[in-house]
A and B are shown apart, each in its own frame.
Chain A
Amino acid sequence: MKLLGLLAPLGVFGAYTLAVILLTGPGFVWNENRRRFYLAGRGAGLWASVATFGATWMSAASLLGYPESFFWDGMVAFGGAVNGWLLGLLPLPWIVAVLRRSRALSLPEWIGKTFDDPRLRRLTAAALLLAYVLYILIQFRSFGGAVSHLLGIRYAVGASALVYLFVLYTTFGGMPSVIRSDVLNFWLIVVGVTVAAVVAVGRVGGVEVLVRRLATEAPELLNPAAPWEVLGGMAAMTLGWGLGVAANPQYAVRILSARSPRVALGMLAIVPFFLGVIYLGLTAFAATGRLVAAPVLRQGGEAAFLHMVSMVLPPAPASLFLVALIAAAVSTANSQLLLAASSFCYDLMDRWRTTLPEDIFLFRNRLAVTVIATLALGGSLLPFPDILTVGRFSWTVVALCFFLPLFWPLSGRRQGLFEAMGLSLVLHGVLVFGLHLPPEGSLLPSLLLERLSWRWFSRKGEEA
């Protein structure tokens, strides 16, 4: 048994990496161009779209942060995070037609053209770059933690640097390679979480026993009658995550890369089913962890959670779960690296976009991916706050940049958005860093200011 415990992590990690390498390799093609590199030539089929959407959706914040959060806040965490994430899915079908009509290769380009303001393109691209570097940092940190735990090596640059093995490779071929690796990542996440949940719940004697024991040993987790301030916080968190998800360019890009609007709509219809299965699995797993490994989890932090995985699960399912965690981090990181590189090379560097030959332009994209990955890797070793806090800040910045342009009916008013967006981002920064408000608490007033000032600036523009 101990021998299996030693060999299983190495075997599972090796098999996963080998599968990623072999699956992604055929995505490197000789006749590539930016449309293919950014959007897979707009030819992704239904199940490939479902897989890449689902894999990108399940980030390390979901697999690592959510169970950790459930340990402390129980159903409040479920209500805030899971509801928020799924709430963001609801409005996505509304933008399918709008986005598919455009020939834009990136969301900042779409905004710049739709609102006829190149400054908007640069502002949203710069904000996206910042938000994604922060978010990639989270993925790398979780990746480092999972790998160091799985392979028994010390968490340091070495463990995190192994991420190069995956993200640079999968991003090299652009979106086609990302989609190919996401197919594997998605099914690994679904299977890893489901197996972990089934084995964990089985160890405590089934669902009924789990609920009964939770009701007696940790009743506060199941208590929906939380104080008003907690419920208020939960509602703000739900909205914060929801608006961020709805406006997140990595989902918009998957709508653009689908073969047709019908495929995009099909993807949005199928994906919630799998996401629901994964969230339920994570909740059951976290609840079991609370009963079996409460003293360990009370220490807090990612290391304690990873230790709990080994306590709750036998070696093989534990290794599978940790590889699912790695898959979630890798899929989100490579998708966001690609978008961050496109924001920099395609949206911010006008001269590169218009004057460089296609080969050199794509080479610079790959170089940008490497530089951004290195920056994020360096950042992942700094003492940043916990995963969900960094995630919340990134998502709120994304929501401020993309929510109104995507979802607010245009009704002919296209002026003034740049000024309004700039103003709201400044207010958001002041509220979060100056007044230390939680990002999701600052999002709503900032968004309100953006809407009102947009109205004001557009009227002023029309009068002028």
Chain B
Amino acid sequence: MGRPRHMESQIKALVVAGVLLLTAVTLAVSIGQGFALRWEENRRWLYTVRSVLEALDRPQAEIVVAMLRPAWRVFPGTAGRSGGEILRSRDGEMWAAFPNDEVLWEELLESNRPLLVVALVTLLLVLEISIFWAYAIVRPLRRLAWACRDMGSGRWPDLGPEGASGTYEIATLHEAFRHMVDRLQQWQRVERQVGRMERLAALGQVVAGVAHEVRNPLASLRIHLDLLEVDVLPAGQPSLRVLGDEVDRLNQIVSQLLAFSRPRPPIGGPVDLGEVVSWCHQMVRDRMSRQGVSWRETGFDGARPVPGDAAQLRQMLLNLVLNALDAMPRGGELHVGTRYGEDDGPGGVRRAALFLSVEDSGEGIASELLPRLFDPFFTTRPEGTGLGLALVHRIAELHGGAVDVVSSPGRTIFTVTLPEREGDAP
């Protein structure tokens, strides 16, 4: 089987061949008819001249014969001139006349020049239109093929704006493809969420067991370290303090693990977000001045209280702010803002929501890392635990909300969506 032919070329060839044929036939008919008419006219004129000549002597006959030119080539005498029309005067003088085809064609072309120009222009115009037409048909198909290839290589394709796909049939094909892509994306999202929940559940069980078992020895270690502090000589005190700090750090990690794996349900109540933000600012003020980061907050004046757990919301915001500070080791601007709007609640029902955003001017997050950002233990920092953002995600979920991130070089924004009305929260 040979290579398949291009539909574009076929459309062009068909349209042009059709118009070429039509033009050729029109021109042939028009010019052919003109030729036949002129030929007939010329011949009638010759017969008229011939009958007139029979009544004239040579001097007058020569004047009349000249009138046959240029449509006829006329030669005196007939010797050696066979095939022509013979003309004879009353006194016996003879001429041979031959039709002058070149003049006939010139006259024909001259009189048909407008027709020739129109035919040429029409032909060229149709060729252009066929190219545009072929382009309009083929372009959406090529785009679709490219989209399929993209999907095959694991990327979600961009088919451009809806309704820009030309004819009805191709638009329907595009729409069906778009619908298929939407459904696949939805399915992938659900699959990812289910997988994450299963992983978290399994992880939670293990972590909760381990954390519980580790917490008791840690408490015992802490008590004995405190008791030792009285008996240890001054030279050993620094080592004791280091041991104490490390035990505290381990305890904090274990608490985080427990909070993540067995979160307590949020204690409902109106929370003043302005107060949460200002507490958070107090907590990080020293670190910000060390790093040369400026603080900006917008939208909290006159902000309405939201239903939620103040302690959890504090923890969530603090984690986001600490994460932002980690992203700006050489200074920058940290912007905490809030705005009111609507989002899709459970079941796709629109509801009033509050959007709390934390924006930093750091280097940004690589796009391939974004889908894994809220997974527990996923971190890019050697000293990180990978639990901060996972906890943010968990708290947002517990409040019936969600967290989202967009990032580009020089700008990363985490946005937490919280339902504004208590009934909308679980």
Chain A contact residues, CB within 8 Å of chain B: 2-3, 6-7, 10, 13-14, 17-18, 21, 25, 28, 30-31, 151-153, 162, 165, 169, 172, 357-360
A28 and B124 in contact, given A6-B109, A357-B160 (Cβ under 8 angstroms)? no
Query: Is residue B125 contacting chain A, with contact meaning CB distance below 8 A?
Result: yes
Contacts of B356 on A, CB cut-off 8 Å? none
Contact: B143 with A169, CB < 8 Å?
no
Contacts of A152 on B, CB cut-off 8 Å? 113, 117
CB distance from A237 to the nearest CB of B (A): 39
Contacts of A153 on B, CB cut-off 8 Å? 114, 117
Contact: B124 with A165, CB < 8 Å?
yes
Contacts of B2 on A, CB cut-off 8 Å? none
Contacts of A360 on B, CB cut-off 8 Å? 161, 164
Contact: A357 with B132, CB < 8 Å?
no
Query: Is residue B91 contacting chain A, with contact meaning CB distance below 8 A?
Result: no
Contact: A151 with B106, CB < 8 Å?
no
A21 and B128 in contact, given A30-B142, A153-B114, A162-B121 (Cβ under 8 angstroms)? yes
- Residues of B108-141 whose CB lies within 8 A of A: 109-110, 113-114, 116-117, 120-121, 123-125, 127-128, 131-132, 135, 138-139
Contact of B161 among A3, A13, A357 (CB under 8 A): A357
Residue of B whose beta carbon sits closest to that of A153? B117
CB distance from B164 to the nearest CB of A (A): 5
Contact of B125 among A2, A7, A10, A165 (CB under 8 A): A165
Contacts of B131 on A, CB cut-off 8 Å? 21, 25, 28, 169
Contact of A28 among B114, B116, B125, B135 (CB under 8 A): B135
**Can you offer 28 A-B residue contacts whose CB atoms are under 8 A?**
A2-B106, A3-B102, A6-B106, A6-B110, A6-B113, A7-B109, A10-B116, A13-B120, A14-B123, A18-B124, A18-B127, A25-B131, A28-B135, A30-B138, A30-B139, A30-B142, A31-B146, A152-B117, A153-B114, A153-B117, A162-B121, A165-B121, A172-B132, A357-B160, A357-B161, A359-B160, A360-B161, A360-B164
Contacts of A165 on B, CB cut-off 8 Å? 121, 124-125, 128
A21 and B164 in contact, given A6-B110, A10-B116, A152-B113 (Cβ under 8 angstroms)? no
Contact: B124 with A14, CB < 8 Å?
yes
Q: Most A CB atoms within 10 A — which of B110, B114, B128, B160? A: B128
CB distance from A362 to the nearest CB of B (A): 11
Residue of A whose beta carbon sits closest to that of B124? A17
Query: Is residue B45 contacting chain A, with contact meaning CB distance below 8 A?
Result: no
Question: What 5 A-B pairs are tightest by C-beta distance, nearest first?
Answer: A30-B142, A357-B161, A30-B139, A17-B124, A6-B109
CB distance from A229 to the nearest CB of B (A): 47
Contact: A359 with B161, CB < 8 Å?
yes
Contacts of A169 on B, CB cut-off 8 Å? 128, 131
Contacts of B139 on A, CB cut-off 8 Å? 30
- Residues of B140-154 whose CB lies within 8 A of A: 142-143, 146
Chain B contact residues, CB within 8 Å of chain A: 102, 105-106, 109-110, 113-114, 116-117, 120-121, 123-125, 127-128, 131-132, 135, 138-139, 142-143, 146, 160-161, 164
Judged by DSSP, the binding face of A is helix
Contacts of B123 on A, CB cut-off 8 Å? 14
Contact: A21 with B117, CB < 8 Å?
no
Q: Most A CB atoms within 10 A — which of B117, B120, B164? A: B117
> How far is it, in angstroms, between the C-alpha of A3 and the C-alpha of B121 when the chains are bound?
21
> How far is it, in angstroms, between the C-alpha of A415 and the C-alpha of B128 when the chains are bound?
49
CB distance from A348 to the nearest CB of B (A): 23
> How many A-B contacts at CB < 8 Å in the complex?
58
Contacts of A7 on B, CB cut-off 8 Å? 109
Residue of B whose beta carbon sits closest to that of A3? B106
> How far is it, in angstroms, between the C-alpha of A156 and the C-alpha of B26 when the chains are bound?
26
- 11 new A-B pairs (CB below 8 Å) besides A7-B109, A25-B131, A360-B164? A6-B106, A10-B120, A17-B124, A18-B127, A21-B124, A31-B143, A31-B146, A151-B117, A165-B121, A357-B161, A359-B161
Residue of B whose beta carbon sits closest to that of A169? B128
CB distance from A377 to the nearest CB of B (A): 16
Contacts of B138 on A, CB cut-off 8 Å? 30
Contacts of B132 on A, CB cut-off 8 Å? 172
> How far is it, in angstroms, between the C-alpha of A3 and the C-alpha of B132 when the chains are bound?
35
> How far is it, in angstroms, between the C-alpha of A461 and the C-alpha of B124 when the chains are bound?
58
> How far is it, in angstroms, between the C-alpha of A361 and the C-alpha of B208 when the chains are bound?
56
> How far is it, in angstroms, between the C-alpha of A21 and the C-alpha of B114 when the chains are bound?
22
Contacts of A21 on B, CB cut-off 8 Å? 124, 127-128, 131
Residue of A whose beta carbon sits closest to that of B110? A6
CB distance from B147 to the nearest CB of A (A): 11
Contacts of A162 on B, CB cut-off 8 Å? 121
Q: Most A CB atoms within 10 A — which of B102, B124, B125, B161? A: B124
Contacts of B102 on A, CB cut-off 8 Å? 3
CB distance from B131 to the nearest CB of A (A): 5
> How far is it, in angstroms, between the C-alpha of A169 and the C-alpha of B110 when the chains are bound?
30
Q: Most A CB atoms within 10 A — which of B131, B132, B146? A: B131
> How far is it, in angstroms, between the C-alpha of A21 and the C-alpha of B146 when the chains are bound?
27
CB distance from A390 to the nearest CB of B (A): 28
> How far is it, in angstroms, between the C-alpha of A125 and the C-alpha of B128 when the chains are bound?
31
A14 and B113 in contact, given A30-B143, A359-B164, A360-B161 (Cβ under 8 angstroms)? no
Contacts of B105 on A, CB cut-off 8 Å? 3
Contacts of B128 on A, CB cut-off 8 Å? 21, 165, 169
Contacts of B121 on A, CB cut-off 8 Å? 162, 165
Contacts of A28 on B, CB cut-off 8 Å? 131, 135
> How far is it, in angstroms, between the C-alpha of A25 and the C-alpha of B131 when the chains are bound?
7
> How far is it, in angstroms, between the C-alpha of A31 and the C-alpha of B144 when the chains are bound?
11
CB distance from A323 to the nearest CB of B (A): 14
> How far is it, in angstroms, between the C-alpha of A151 and the C-alpha of B118 when the chains are bound?
10
Residue of A whose beta carbon sits closest to that of B109? A6
Contacts of B146 on A, CB cut-off 8 Å? 30-31
Contact: B160 with A358, CB < 8 Å?
yes
CB distance from A115 to the nearest CB of B (A): 23
> How far is it, in angstroms, between the C-alpha of A158 and the C-alpha of B102 when the chains are bound?
31
